Amino acid sequence: IFEKKKEEILDHVIKVAGKSEHTLNLEARMKEKKDNPANFGYYCDRHCICEIPGQLTCPGIKPLPEKMRGKYINAKE
């Protein structure tokens, strides 16, 4: 103990008596989580914007209309 620096002692105490870094990171993310219903993604109420009523479905599930795709808009005739 006498030969160690204060940072090493603190790290050892946290490692033995405290929470793991993974748990601390999860708790920090949960604190940062905003309860705004407009948020979507990981750690939010909705995973994708397509889950909100009135929004377009994901292009992977149902293709977008041709008028909304750049492939057709930018195609030169």
- Secondary structure class of 46 (helix, strand, coil): strand
pLDDT digits (tens, 9 = 90+) for 8-43: 988 888 877 888 888 888 888 777 666 677 777 877
The span from the CA of 46 to the CA of 50, in Å, is: 9
pTM: 0.37
- Secondary structure class of 40 (helix, strand, coil): strand
- Which residue pairs, CB below 8 angstroms and at least 24 apart, start in 6-11? none
Amino acid at 39: N
Give me the pLDDT at residue 1, please: 65
